[in-house]
Amino acid sequence: MTRISAADYHDVAQVEDPQVSPDGDRVAFVRKVPKDDESYEQTVYLVPTDGTGEARRFTVAEGVDSKPRWSPSGDRLAFVSTRGADDDRPQLWVLPVSGGEAERVTDVPGGVGNVAWSPDGSKIAFQQSTTAEEREERLDTNLGGEEYERETPDPRVVDRLVYRQHGRYKDGAEPHVYVVHLDEAGDGEDAEADADAPRVERLTEGEYGHVSPAWGDNETLYFGVKRHQGDTEPDDSVVIDIVAHDLSTGETEDVTRTTAWGLALDATADGRLAFGRTPEERLSMRQSDVVVYDRKADEEFVPTENLDRDIALQGGLSWGPSEERVYFLTPDEGDYVARRVPGDASADPDVLVGEGHATSVSVGGPADDSVVAVAKSEWDHRGDVFCLSEGEERRLTSVNADYLERVEVREPEEVRFESEEGVEVQGWVLTPPEFDPEGTYPLVVEVHGGPHAMWSVTGTMWHEFQLMAARGYVVFWSNPRGSTGYGEEFATAIERDWGEVTMTDVMAGVELVCERDYVDEENVFLTGGSFGGFMTGWMVGETDRFRGAVAQRGVYDLSSFYGSTDAFKLIEGDFDTTPWDEPEFLWEQSPVAHAADVSTPTLVMHAENDFRVPVNNGEMFYLFLRKNGVETRLVRYPREGHELSRSGEPAHVVDRLERTVRWFDGYSDHHDAPKALERGDDGLSAANDGEDGRGDGDESDD
């Protein structure tokens, strides 16, 4: 067997967004794998739920496919794809499950997201971000096959607090809710409209964001609206009004209200709404709950009120086929588990699928025999589709079977240790392949982002952890205070103190691991991204314990972060202040304030289109380090946003990993390698002529 390399990223497939068919017999899911250095192949697959058949590709590889959604009758599958387009705007397609050609049912300028079938299968609701000009000229409902490109403002005039997100500028585009009538042709009044195309209708108006459409009955569509709240503009508010739109009359009615970062919403035919809610006060530090509002009875239930766990709303929230129970995910002490709870709060939530890292959940099948599907990774694989049926959990796919047969994967060891004040912290230790307990190895310490997040033994970090071990390092990671999955008191322990509290917990784990005879306590290295980048910057300013560090897309100056991010509410919530109220306090809580105390060689990496933690933070930290004589380098990744490590261009993902281990190798007594500052491009795949840029760049230097 061979050791895992950074370039193996090109060979590792991911599974996303499993969706159970209405009869419970099949699961549709998205398989994603790098296509070349810059893009991914992303297609829809089907797999039977009884475990008797292999997964088969359902859509052709002609674009980036996502969001597969079964029609209520199960005879059609809607999906979103860029196929046939010369831009990256995804459109909505419908494909008969029995076979045939896929039909594109939208041609809209803002792309399609958040797809939902009507109960009778005659309509599909979706979300699209459009400008006022597009709506006024009716370009937003049908471009008629004409080439269209939004003009880039020059100059760009900004009148909003949040004017760029997810690596792009908004430039006046706001999300609105649309419905495509599959059995009705367009009315011909749209600009250049194709009269034979299904009719697309916009249901919403104004310069507000309209999100997360969910059907009740055939004529009632629910969605969220972010409006001004008194003197508070939408970008400064976490209040979301949930409204009902009656398609038969065109009337819209405010139904209820929630507070959250974003809206997770589902509805029943009789008017019961399930959605996520996070307390408005200090929202960034609080746990979310599932809330059920009964529209007819005007009653509200909180069925997760007694569950001291955060609800992972990005993983989905939905009613089951009987419309009696709500399904969702929660982080739970190193696992992300699928749970369900009665909508009337008559019983506490129970765990359905656990022991792993689930990223999304779907439920389908007959009302009395529902099937639950999750995308789940475990220590020995990057992720597959699993289902729970008749009380039995089955693994339905092995998308990386061939790859896993030829590489050595190590099993992490769980450790529990005590930090200050008797707080128990969970962590893991991963040893290198061909591990010799009589040998001695350097240690890499990884710190997670968030800060209110949770690491497991797998998930998006599976490849990176296994790579570090394959390069000859013992790897340690943990969930210090501030992490989710251990209750609200644990998560809020870092209030107004990101640095010292987290460092205390991480270092308690480091010292415990360093007591092992096979760990070289003089060769310890540190890295992390986002909040983990903050902690890397903080810790090298507080201790010289580390031989080398790699700080990635981190927050290094809290005030400049506040003034340039789309997540400024994080500072208001976690620190309960603003830069003008306590400028000196936020300065002292920032890693750059302690840059003069840094002696650890520190590589700084950042994405140029990172609008969550803008690149000025990385630039500032790098300049401060260099001015103070620290061995450092700044690496900037063009075209990338904050998700670089998870979904960046494949060549960039590989380069980031190679540069990280190369930086550590140069300061390790266990690797015969020069410092990265002296190596030029040596050791990087991008410098080689191999296929897809995959040369010998990440061969071990030891």
pLDDT tens for residues 565-612? 999 999 999 999 999 999 999 999 999 999 999 999 999 999 999 999
Question: What is the pLDDT at residue 426?
Answer: 98
pLDDT tens for residues 653-675? 999 999 999 999 999 999 999 99
How is residue 190 written in tokens?
A: 């749209």
More confident: 115 or 646 = 115
- Looking at every residue in the chain, the average pLDDT score rounds to 93
Three-class SS state of 237? coil
Provide Rg for the chain, Cα atoms: 25
Question: What is the pLDDT at residue 84?
Answer: 76
Query: What letter represents residue 555's amino acid?
Result: V
Question: What is the pLDDT at residue 700?
Answer: 36
CA distance 698 to 696: 6
Span 424-435, mean pLDDT? 97
pLDDT tens for residues 6-53? 999 999 999 999 999 999 999 999 999 999 999 999 999 999 999 999
Assign 165 a pLDDT band (cuts: 50, 70, 90): confident
Residues 6+ apart with CB under 8 A from 594: 538, 541, 542
Q: What are phi and psi of 368, to 5 degrees?
A: -95, 5
Q: What are phi and psi of 254, to 5 degrees?
A: -70, 130
SS3 per-residue string spanning 624-669 = HHHHCCCCEEEEEECCCCCCHHHHCCHHHHHHHHHHHHHHHHHHCC
Q: Give the DSSP letter string of 312-330.
A: -GGG-EEE-TTSSEEEEEE
Q: CA of 103: how far to CAs of 78, 199, 316, 318, 492, in Å?
A: 9, 14, 27, 28, 49
CA distance 584 to 559: 10
Q: Give the DSSP letter string of 359-412.
A: EEEEEES-TTS-EEEEEEEETTEEEEEEEEETTEEEE---TTHHHHHHB--PPP
Three-class SS state of 55? coil
Number of residues in the chain: 702
Q: Indicate if the pLDDT at residue 377 is higher than 60.
A: yes
Q: CA of 622: how far to CAs of 447, 524, 583, 598, 629, in Å?
A: 20, 21, 22, 12, 11
Question: What is the pLDDT at residue 167?
Answer: 85
Assign 315 a pLDDT band (cuts: 50, 70, 90): confident
The alpha carbon dihedral of 578, 579, 581, 584 has a sign of positive
pLDDT tens for residues 241-255? 999 999 999 999 999
**Per 3-state DSSP, what percentage of the chain is helix, strand, and coil (rounded to 5)?**
20, 35, 45
Q: CA of 196: how far to CAs of 71, 106, 144, 188, in Å?
A: 22, 12, 10, 9
Q: Indicate if the pLDDT at residue 687 is higher than 60.
A: yes
Residues 6+ apart with CB under 8 A from 583: 559
Do 293 and 299 contact (CB within 8 A), yes or no? yes
Rounded to the nearest 5 degrees, what angle is found at the Cα of 109, between the Cα atoms of 108 and 111? 75
How is residue 265 written in tokens?
A: 């919403």
pLDDT tens for residues 84-98? 776 788 999 999 999
Assign 194 a pLDDT band (cuts: 50, 70, 90): low
CA distance 458 to 466: 9
Residues 6+ apart with CB under 8 A from 103: 93, 94, 95
CA distance 510 to 520: 11
In eight-state DSSP terms, residue 618 is: H
pLDDT tens for residues 500-547? 999 999 999 999 999 999 999 999 999 999 999 999 999 999 999 999
Q: Indicate if the pLDDT at residue 694 is higher than 50.
A: no
CA distance 416 to 422: 12
CA distance 330 to 352: 11
CA distance 60 to 309: 40
CA distance 13 to 15: 7
Question: What is the pLDDT at residue 551?
Answer: 98
Assign 689 a pLDDT band (cuts: 50, 70, 90): very low
Question: What is the pLDDT at residue 420?
Answer: 84
Give the H or E element holding residue 546.
none
Q: What are phi and psi of 44, to 5 degrees?
A: -95, 135
Question: What is the pLDDT at residue 187?
Answer: 59
In eight-state DSSP terms, residue 59 is: S
Q: Indicate if the pLDDT at residue 645 is higher than 80.
A: yes
Q: What are phi and psi of 116, to 5 degrees?
A: -150, 125
Do 694 and 685 contact (CB within 8 A), yes or no? yes
The alpha carbon dihedral of 22, 23, 27, 28 has a sign of negative
Assign 650 a pLDDT band (cuts: 50, 70, 90): very high
Q: What are phi and psi of 503, to 5 degrees?
A: -60, -40
Assign 116 a pLDDT band (cuts: 50, 70, 90): very high
pLDDT tens for residues 676-686? 999 988 889 87
CA distance 236 to 228: 9
Q: What are phi and psi of 260, to 5 degrees?
A: -175, 165
Which region among 59-63, 77-81, 347-351, 581-585 has the lowest average model confidence (pLDDT)? 59-63
Question: What is the pLDDT at residue 391?
Answer: 86
